[in-house]
Amino acid sequence: MQQVVPAIALEVSVLLLGVLMLFAEAFSRRADRSHMAKYAIGVLAALVGFSFFTQAAPDTIAAGSYWKFYSVDATALFFKRIALVSTIVFLVMALEYRHILARFIPGEEEGRGTGEFYCLPVFICAGLMFMASAVDFILIFVSLELVTIGFYALVAYMRRHTLSLEAGVKYLILGALSTGFLVYGITWIFGLTGETSLALVKANLISGFSAAAAGGASADGPLAGNETALLFGIVLILVALGFKVAAAPFQLWVPDVYQGAPTPVTAFLSVGSKAAGFVVLVRVLDVFLAVPAVQGKVTAVLVLLAAATLIYGNITALPQENLKRLFAYSSIAHAGYLLMACASLGGDFAVAKQAVSFYLAGYLLMTLLSFLILIVVARHSRGDEIRHFNGLGKRSPMLAFAMTLAIASLAGIPLTAGFLGKFLVFKTAIATGHWVLIGIGIVAVAAGFYYYIKVIAAMYWREPEDAKSIEIAPLTRAAITILGVLIIVLGIFPRPVLDQLRERRQGPPAQVARH
Amino acid sequence: MTVISLIILLPIANALAIMLGAPARRSALLASWVQLALTLFAVLGYNRTVGGVQFGSSWSVAPEWGLSLRLGADGLSLIMLLLTALVTVAAIHASPRIEKREGLFFACILLIDAGAAGAFASFDLFFFYAFHELALIPTFLLIGLWGHGQRHAAAWRITIYLALGSIIVLVGLAKLYLAQNVALLPGHARTFDMIVMAKTPALIPAAAQGGIYIWLLIGFGILISLVPFHSWAPGAYASAPTPAAMLHAGVLKKFGLYGLLRVAVPLLPEGAKQWAHVLLVLLVLNILYIGLVTIAQKRLDTMLGYSSVMHMGYVFLGIAAGNAVGLSGAALLMLGHGLSIAALFAMAGHLRQSSPTLAFTDFGGIAKRAPFLGYAFGMAAFASIGLPGFANFSSEIMVFFGAFGSVPQPGTLSFSAIQIAVICGLWGVVISAVYMLRAFRKIFMGEDTGSAVVAEPKCDLRWAVIILLVALLIGGVWPKSYLSFIQPSVEAILAK
């Protein structure tokens, strides 16, 4: 395969696109901004294509080059594509949602003031892509903030909608708090190792805590006795990331924010924010789990987080009647499965990482598909309760079938991408021997069947409240078809994703020069 | 494209075509007959002197996990595919007139059919499991939309139970996959390929087998309705629309038994020994306890539901025997039970048109007015009891003989555990006779009370019942016809 594009050109292009869209927003005379979104979809789709032709990182890294904090391994590229695809689908959803949005935006004509709704996600996308490549705590922090600040504005975007404003405030306060935790944690790690680059932190920690340091056979490393300090820093970072991925007990913001935010933002939040959180989590766990002194304790913390998240997410999802809220709780549940795989990172790292990545790919497809359908149906039924889906099988067989597919995948029924993800998660947990988590996971899956299939029951068992058939815009129809087909294809034939996840270069990553 | 992959693809393609607007009943009927013809073609084309898996096709899906979509059929799968095709044809013939959403109804039936056929024809652990789950949502929709009585509660219960059973099976299969002794496998990589696994002796270390076996036993046990995991079955079958009950009780439930035969028996012999006593206790409970519960039923539909739970105990007994006679008997009984229960549910569906509750007190003396129905129901009931002349008799005899002879006789007056289980199980035949004959007497004999007026079934339903009964009679009069396919496969399973 030709490798002609420098990887960082992808992020730069996305940023340029965002800036251009800002200009267009400022100077365009047309009130209707939907054309902006359509152009952006085209550009982002082209970038997905370009991402297959990126250059690999150089073998040796010169001092002062950006490769010190930026990497393009297969995982990074994979998550860049996830970011791009979810942004594209977000824009499709935003177009579908624009009439509802305009109702809650003050403005003399419809569409005025909605431009940022299309261009903020593009900046968030750039942040997500940087995060996928970040191998330095500073870049991790900066890109995480780029993403989070974008979301602050998007969540509260419907200025005349009290629920949206409430969601924005809650998200802002808790988000700022978690940022504080993250910085504080990074500071502790930096204080211990004197480095922010993950590779160097890892090397310093391993040599610092090893019983037989370079100096002598029996001498302790220079950091011996500082396990508590290291654990403190790690736990602070885990708390911050737990907030991003919606892990219990840091999930309190999720239901209100998911329900209050404009629906496209909810979808983007649950996919983009979660994917970014997990890619960072995997990267930092790679460092922390390599330190034998704390490996057991970090794993124990992860097991606890996973167990709490699985139990909380699944139990609270059971009685929900509002679909957005249901998806909010179920997104916590999915974070639980992902954490289950993360807790197994201490075993076979590559296998567990593959499970996380594959699960996220499937999660992306099924979540975006279900939210896309939710937006279409909510627009026609004027509400996003489960009962608004009553009789969808009669009103629009295509939407009902696609939703059934998304739900089947979310519940983890075989021959869908969601099942394969769950299978990999359980497999890696079994290989590591986390039997408590597996026991909880089994109950969680059974509970998941109940609350997901409730939607199928509404669509097929019940009679519609109004029998009007539902019109679907061509762009939306195309997106629904593509996502649905991908869910089945990945469930039966996962090879394309597995090939993308395989590292191009075998052996150790490039050495990073010290200061 | 092999004939086996056509058998699986045909119903899926037909289901899609129906959802896109093809005439539902007619195209489903056509597809089911074509499927039966293809299956017979495969059965006749199977080279018994060569044996083994034939009509194979393989499509590599994820080489790094050793995963490929591997389809094919040996004698045992052919018999199960034959059962699937026969019951599907009968089920579609026996479908009542569907008032609402006919297309969705037949699409669901065909998807269940495809899932069962796919599971029986897959020689890869992953797809073997995955195909079975294809039936889950269609079953939920069928019972909830077109069922009777407390259909919603029944649909929820069966779905949650089966999902739970499936995930437990999945954990067991994942454990099995991870426990493989990699050094023995070609390429030193783990594989999902059941043919490769069956060829490798001592693939699973003996110490790990017990831990895997119990997961599979509980998981498959839930799917098969082994006591105490059976409570989903009677209610679901009683509430399900006729064809769904026929397919589920007749075919889909056999997936768990087939899985035990295919996976647990050859790969986990040590595990089976460790849990043998637990299995014996449970299967005796299945026969005697559920048998007594069946006698207490006052309605035909729940009685049939419980009886189908009860008869699973015999199949388990054959599997517990672990020798060629017992296992062949178990496989033949899977066929016999599937055909007889499908026929009984088909006729119960016809009776339901006159009395929605199917209470025994609503009927009486129907045989006078509807002699065909009387004869046919009588034959199916006799088959279900296990009277000579039907496949159930020959298979139950084999199960009992196989189980009794599976251990050396310890002394003239003492028996080993499995022999005691056989002695208890024999009483199950008496129990079946009690409830089946009583039901037959109450519905078809005696005074014509006239409270539920039953007409002779239409031509469609007659065909359905005749097909099933003929297949049952062949198995009773000439069991070799089926056993010549089953026995070599069973011996291959045991040979390793």
Q: pLDDT tens-digit profile of A155-164?
A: 999 888 899 9
Q: Is B49 helix (H, G, I), strand (E, B) or coil?
A: coil
DSSP A365-379: HHHHHHHHHHHHHHH
Question: Is the CB of residue B268 less than 8 Å from the CB of residue B108?
Answer: no
Q: Tell me, what amino acid is at A411? A: A
Inter-chain CB proximity B174 and A426 less than 8 Å: yes
Reply yes or no on whether the pLDDT at A223 is more than 90. Answer: no
Reply yes or no on whether the pLDDT at A4 is more than 90. Answer: no
Q: What percent of chain A has pLDDT over 70?
A: 95
- Any A CB within 8 A of B206 CB: no
Q: Is A362 helix (H, G, I), strand (E, B) or coil?
A: helix
Q: Which residues of chain B have pLDDT under 70?
A: 450-451, 496
**Chain A partners within 8 Å of B19 (Cβ):** 397, 401
Tokens describing residue A102: 């305009």
pLDDT at A211: 63
Inter-chain CB proximity A393 and B101 less than 8 Å: yes
Map tokens 């997990």 to a residue. Answer: A278
**Sign of torsion over alpha carbons A255, A486, A491, A471:** positive
pLDDT at B448: 77
For residue A165, the distance in angstroms to the closest alpha carbon of chain B comes to 38
- Any A CB within 8 A of B69 CB: yes
Distance separating alpha carbons of residues A131 and A140, to the nearest angstrom: 6
Task: Point out the residue among A393, A408, A423 whose CB comes nearest to the CB of B170.
Answer: A423
Task: Point out the residue among A413, A442, A450 whose CB comes nearest to the CB of B168.
Answer: A442
Which of left, alpha, beta for A513 (phi over 0: left; psi -120 to 50: alpha)? beta
Inter-chain CB proximity B64 and A408 less than 8 Å: no
Instruction: Confirm whether A515 is domain-assigned.
Output: no
Residue B207: CB atoms within 10 A of its CB come to 10
pLDDT at A330: 93
**Sign of torsion over alpha carbons B404, B405, B406, B408:** positive
Reply yes or no on whether the pLDDT at A216 is more than 60. Answer: no
Domain that holds residue A344: 8-212+220-501
Instruction: Confirm whether A509 is domain-assigned.
Output: no
First-to-final CA distance of chain A: 35
- Any A CB within 8 A of B9 CB: no
**Chain B partners within 8 Å of A453 (Cβ):** 137, 140, 159
Residue partners of B210: CB distance under 8 A and separation at least 6 = B270, B271, B274, B275
DSSP B233-247: HHHHHHHS-HHHHHH
- Of A185, A179, A189, the C-alpha closest to A144 is A179
Reply yes or no on whether the pLDDT at A215 is more than 80. Answer: no
- Any A CB within 8 A of B174 CB: yes
Q: Is B67 helix (H, G, I), strand (E, B) or coil?
A: strand
Instruction: Confirm whether A206 is domain-assigned.
Output: yes
Residue A506: pLDDT band (50, 70, 90) is: very low
Instruction: Confirm whether A306 is domain-assigned.
Output: yes
Residue A42: pLDDT band (50, 70, 90) is: very high
Question: Is the CB of residue B132 less than 8 Å from the CB of residue B113?
Answer: no
Q: Tell me, what amino acid is at A241? A: L
pLDDT at B450: 65
pLDDT at A213: 46
For residue B145, the distance in angstroms to the closest alpha carbon of chain A comes to 5
The H-or-E segment that residue A303 falls in is helix A292-317
Q: Specify the DSSP class assigned to residue A514.
A: P
Q: Give the pLDDT mean for A283-297.
A: 91
Reply yes or no on whether the pLDDT at A507 is more than 50. Answer: no
Inter-chain CB proximity A413 and B129 less than 8 Å: no
Cα A18 off chain centre by: 20
Cα A262 off chain centre by: 18
Inter-chain CB proximity A453 and B145 less than 8 Å: no
Q: Is A99 helix (H, G, I), strand (E, B) or coil?
A: helix
> Is residue B414 exposed (0-12), middle (13-18) or buried (19+ Cβ within 10 Å)?
exposed
**Chain A partners within 8 Å of B140 (Cβ):** 453, 456-457
pLDDT in tens, A325-344: 999 999 999 999 999 999 99
Which of left, alpha, beta for A469 (phi over 0: left; psi -120 to 50: alpha)? beta
* A–B CB contacts, 8 A cutoff, strictly below: 82
Give the mutation candidate from B69, B141, B178 for the A interface (greatest A CB count, under 10 A). B141
Domain boundaries, chain B: 275-496
Map tokens 């031509």 to a residue. Answer: B459
Inter-chain CB proximity B171 and A415 less than 8 Å: no
- Any A CB within 8 A of B64 CB: yes
Distance separating alpha carbons of residues B336 and A492, to the nearest angstrom: 33
Question: Is the CB of residue B342 less than 8 Å from the CB of residue B87?
Answer: yes
For residue B160, the distance in angstroms to the closest alpha carbon of chain A comes to 6
Rounded to 10°, the helix A227-245/A292-317 angle is 30
Tokens describing residue A271: 């996919």
Residue A111: pLDDT band (50, 70, 90) is: low
pLDDT in tens, B254-305: 999 999 999 999 999 999 999 999 999 999 999 999 999 999 999 999 999 9
Question: Is the CB of residue A306 less than 8 Å from the CB of residue A340?
Answer: yes
- Any A CB within 8 A of B145 CB: yes
- Any A CB within 8 A of B401 CB: no
Count of structural domains, chain A: 1
Reply yes or no on whether the pLDDT at A110 is more than 90. Answer: no
- Any A CB within 8 A of B164 CB: yes
Give the mutation candidate from A422, A434, A449 for the B interface (greatest B CB count, under 10 A). A449
ipTM: 0.91
The H-or-E segment that residue B401 falls in is helix B391-404
Q: Answer whether 0.90 is exceeded by the pTM.
A: yes
Question: Is the CB of residue A115 less than 8 Å from the CB of residue A33?
Answer: yes
DSSP B299-351: BHHHHHHHHHHHHHHHHHHHHHH-SHHHHHHHHHHHHHHHHHHHHHHHHHHHH
**Chain A partners within 8 Å of B178 (Cβ):** 427, 430-431
